[in-house]
Structures are given as structure tokens and as C-alpha cells.
Amino acid sequence: GQQVMQIPQYQHVQEGEDFTTYCNSSTTLSNIQWYKQRPGGHPVFLIQLVKSGEVKKQKRLTFQFGEAKKNSSLHITATQTTDVGTYFCAASGSARQLTFGSGTQLTVLP
């Protein structure tokens, strides 16, 4: 089945610093989605990227889809304590099954 690798697994940042998580696949992806799971909560959809080279922004969050549609990144500018949680990428292949990356757990130190 399709696999997506996500790095880093953990990231500790000082409040105000930037944060980036990366998602990589060995195969071309039809699309990629990003989710956020707060501690004790459930994953919540953030965004979906479909086009090669696509860049989307949500306030301090910037999402990119690689030109070859094999990688994606989520960048948070000037992190805040409310950004704490685990960020997952998820991709679907021809079977339309959503496969999740292992997640990046973000800790923001005040």
C-alpha cells in the first residue's frame, strides 16, 4: 500500500519561532491533506492540496505541494502555544484510501 514518511517525529520550539514538518512519498500522490490533533483530541482537517507546486496559506500556516507531487510541507510562522499538537499529512492513491504519515508532535515552550 501507499506509504508516506513524515519528519521530524518531534519538534520543540520556543514560542515565536518557526516550525516546519515534511511529508514524503516514493510515489506520485493525487492529493495531500493535512490534519491537526490537539492533545487528547481527534484529528481535525486543515487543508487539501491537489495541484503540482500548489501553495496555500491559512493565517500563519503555509502549506506546499511539491512540483513532482511526491512531497509536501507545513510551515508555521511565529508559533504560539495554541499551535501545540500533532500534525499529520495524509495521502490517497488510486484506491482513494487515506494513508496517514506518522505525525509530527509539536511542543511550544512559552
What is the binding site for another protein (CB under 8 A)?
A: 1, 6, 9, 30-31, 33, 35, 41-45, 48, 88, 90, 92, 95-103
Smallest gap from Cβ 14 to another protein, in A, equals 24
Comparing CB distances to another protein, the nearer of 59 and 96 is 96
Question: Distance of CA 58 to CAs 12, 35, 43, 69, Å?
Answer: 22, 13, 17, 21
Smallest gap from Cβ 9 to another protein, in A, equals 8
Smallest gap from Cβ 78 to another protein, in A, equals 26
Radius of gyration of the chain (CA): 13
Comparing CB distances to another protein, the nearer of 59 and 95 is 95
Smallest gap from Cβ 58 to another protein, in A, equals 14
Comparing CB distances to another protein, the nearer of 28 and 80 is 28
What is the b/e burial string over 33-46, where b = at least 16 CB atoms within 10 angstroms of the residue's CB? bbbbeeeeeebeeb
CB-based contact 106:11 (threshold 8 Å): yes
Comparing CB distances to another protein, the nearer of 16 and 41 is 41
- Residue 51 phi/psi, 5° resolution? -90, 145
